[in-house]
């Protein structure tokens, strides 16, 4: 029978004693094991557990088996709708698989990323998802690979959402092709003079989108002067500061500003509006990602649509679908051009 209130909780030792079996047999009967338990022993243990109202510690069971039923998700910036949309996909697919997601933000700091990977690996998740652009100058890349390789060797699964730079399963976003397609569509709308607000020069995602955009313009014989490509933080405030910098240099000859992500584009639009520029008339703006809020700004923002929720879901699917030992697998996600009011056709 259950213990009176105030007494210590029933333990597995109590169950084993009640059933008249060893602790190991009781553990195998209740927690599950590859080793068989005789049916009569199993029935005795389960009956004893029911009489004592024993509640097994599921977390302890999972650790004892070598992994918990969790997905550890690392993102660059949880305040960025790009990452929150990816997280929604990870959570949705994880719940369908009976897994629980824990999450932390690296703030795009390689030292913090390594520390968080070590902390999360110590908690023995089933899957570790690392979402965010790789850096060209990451000082910790060798240590990070060592940590993730050891994690996989112990039975965990790693999935990156980034550039395919590391030897792990990766959901790859084709930034170069997407930005090139955006440039081509903007040329079709009649635009011929451009400026770019980019992220830090070490941020691979930013570099890929700048390169793709320049490639698309270059195919039409159009280039952008160096002073019209400004680098800033990969955030809304960075976009705001980037637009201010461009206005200080003079925007009279610029028809369109391409910001390499949507939150930067929204920040740029705010700075332009505050300076008295009429968006979509005096100056056009385009972004990248198609985060939900860009349909609610005025004017609505032209962008490249990434299926961000599906990106997150794809990471969990890739973790389950790719058997270990066969080498890194890739899932490539394409973007689609979404033309809206912020880039009207030039007549």
pLDDT tens-digit profile of 229-258? 999 999 999 999 999 999 998 898 999 999
pLDDT in tens, 148-204: 999 988 889 999 999 999 999 999 999 999 999 999 999 999 999 999 999 999 999
Domain 12-56 adopts which CATH fold?
434 Repressor (Amino-terminal Domain) (1.10.260)
User: Same CATH topology for 12-56 and 66-173+309-334?
Assistant: no
In the chain, what are the domain boundaries?
12-56, 66-173+309-334, 175-307
Q: Is the pLDDT of residue 2 over 60?
A: no
What is the three-class DSSP state of 332? strand
Label each residue of 188-220 as H, E or C.
HCCCCCEEEEECCCCEHHHHHHHHHHHHHHHCC
Task: Choose between 325 and 247: higher pLDDT.
Answer: 247
pLDDT score of 5 = 45
Q: No. of H helices and E strands in the chain? A: 12, 12
Burial of 176 (0-12, 13-18, 19+ CB in 10 A): middle
pLDDT score of 58 = 54
* Relative orientation angle of helices 175-188 and 204-218, to the nearest 10 degrees: 40
- State how far the Cα of 20 lies from the Cα of 53, in Å rounded to an integer: 17
Other CB atoms within a 10 A radius of the CB of residue 253 amount to 9
CA distances from 264 to 101, 129, 159, 253, 287 (A): 28, 25, 27, 21, 8
CATH class held by domain 175-307: alpha beta
- State how far the Cα of 152 lies from the Cα of 137, in Å rounded to an integer: 25
CATH number assigned to the domain with residue range 66-173+309-334, chosen from the 4 options 2.60.40.420, 3.40.50.2300, 3.90.1150.10, 3.40.80.10: 3.40.50.2300
What is the three-class DSSP state of 302? strand
Identify any residues that bridge with 160 across adjacent strands, giving them in sequence order. Answer: 130, 170
Q: Which helix (H) or strand (E) holds 23?
A: helix 23-31
Other CB atoms within a 10 A radius of the CB of residue 203 amount to 23
pLDDT score of 202 = 95
Which regions of 79-122 does DSSP assign to beta strands (E)? 100-105
Report whether 107 contacts 332 (CB < 8 A). Answer: no
pLDDT score of 34 = 46
pLDDT score of 84 = 95
pLDDT score of 62 = 52
Q: Is the pLDDT of residue 3 over 60?
A: no
């Amino acid at each position: 029978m259950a213990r009176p209130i105030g007494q210590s909780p029933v333990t597995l030792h109590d169950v084993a004693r009640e059933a008249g079996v060893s602790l190991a047999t009781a553990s195998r009967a209740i927690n599950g094991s590859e080793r068989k338990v005789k049916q009569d022993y199993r029935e005795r243990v389960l009956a004893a557990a029911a009489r004592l109202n024993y509640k097994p510690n599921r977390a302890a069971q999972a650790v004892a088996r070598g992994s918990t039923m969790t997905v550890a998700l690392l993102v660059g910036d949880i305040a960025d709708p790009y990452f929150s949309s990816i997280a929604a996909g990870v959570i949705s697919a994880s719940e369908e698989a009976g897994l629980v997601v824990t999450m932390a933000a690296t703030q795009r700091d390689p030292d913090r990323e390594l520390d968080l990977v070590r902390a999360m690996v110590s908690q023995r998740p089933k899957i570790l998802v690392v979402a965010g652009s790789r850096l060209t100058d990451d000082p910790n890349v060798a240590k990070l690979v060592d940590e993730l390789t050891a994690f996989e060797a112990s039975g965990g699964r790693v999935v990156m959402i980034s550039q395919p730079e590391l030897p792990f399963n990766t959901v790859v976003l084709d930034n170069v092709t997407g930005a090139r397609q955006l440039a081509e569509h903007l040329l079709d709308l009649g635009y011929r003079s451009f400026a770019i607000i980019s992220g830090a020069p070490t941020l691979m995602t930013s570099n890929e989108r700048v390169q793709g955009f320049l490639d698309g313009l270059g195919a039409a014989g159009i280039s952008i002067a160096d002073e019209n490509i400004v680098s800033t933080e990969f955030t809304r405030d960075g976009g705001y500061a980037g637009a201010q910098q461009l206005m200080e240099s003079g925007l009279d000859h610029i028809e369109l500003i391409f910001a390499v992500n949507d939150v930067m584009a929204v920040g740029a639009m705010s700075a332009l509006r505050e300076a008295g520029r009429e968006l979509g008339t005096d100056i056009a703006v385009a972004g990248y990602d198609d985060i939900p809020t860009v349909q609610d700004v005025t004017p609505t923002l032209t962008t490249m649509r990434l299926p961000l929720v599906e990106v997150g879901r794809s990471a969990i699917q890739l973790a389950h679908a790719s058997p270990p030992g066969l080498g890194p697998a890739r899932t490539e996600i394409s973007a689609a051009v979404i033309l809206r009011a912020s880039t009207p056709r030039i007549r």
